[in-house]
Amino acid sequence: MIKKAVLPVAGFGTRFLPASKAIPKEMLPIIDKPLVQYAVEEAINNGINEIIFITSPEKYSIKKHFKKNKELELKLNKSGKMGLAGKLNPEKFNKVKFYYINQEQQNGLGHAILHAERIIGKNPFAILLPDDLFISTKSCLEQLIEVYSKEKSSVIAVNEIDDENIHKYGVISPGNNISGSIEIDDIIEKPSSEEAPSNLAVCGRYILNYSIFKHLKSTEFDKSGEIQLTDAIRSLLKEEKAFAKIYDGEKFDCGSKDGFVHATIALALRDESISENIKKIIKDLV
Ligand code: G1P
| CATH number of the structural domain spanning residue 191 | 3.90.550.10
Predicted local confidence at residue 88, as pLDDT? 85
Q: What is the model's pLDDT at position 78?
A: 87
Is the Cβ atom of 109 under 6 angstroms away from ligand 1?
yes
Beta partners for residue 207, in sequence order: 126, 155
Q: What is the largest CA-CA distance in the chain?
A: 63
Answer yes or no: is 260 within a domain.
no
Is residue 35 in a domain?
yes
Q: Report pLDDT for 80.
A: 84
Pocket test for ligand 1, best of 154, 168, 227 (most atoms within 8 A of CB): 168
Model confidence at 125, pLDDT cuts 50, 70, 90, reads very high
Is the CB–ligand 1 distance for residue 227 below 6 Å? no
Domain span at residue 195 reads 4-255
Read off the pLDDT of residues 31-77 as tens digits, 9 standing for 90 and up.
999 999 999 999 999 999 999 999 999 999 999 999 988 888 888 88
Burial of residue 89 (CB within 10 Å: 0-12, 13-18, 19+) is middle
Domain assignment present for residue 278? The answer is no
230 lines ligand 1 (CB under 6 A): yes
- Per-residue pLDDT of 227-285, as tens digits, reads 999 999 999 999 999 999 999 999 999 999 999 999 999 999 999 999 999 999 999 99
Tell me if 280 is assigned to some domain: no
Atom nearest to 131 CA in ligand 1 = 12
pLDDT of residue 204: 95
| pLDDT tens track for 132-190 | 999 999 999 999 999 999 999 999 999 999 999 999 999 999 998 877 899 999 999 99
Q: Into how many domains does the chain fold?
A: 1
Residue 266 counted as domain residue: no
Is residue 284 one of the residues assigned to a domain? no
pLDDT of residue 177: 87
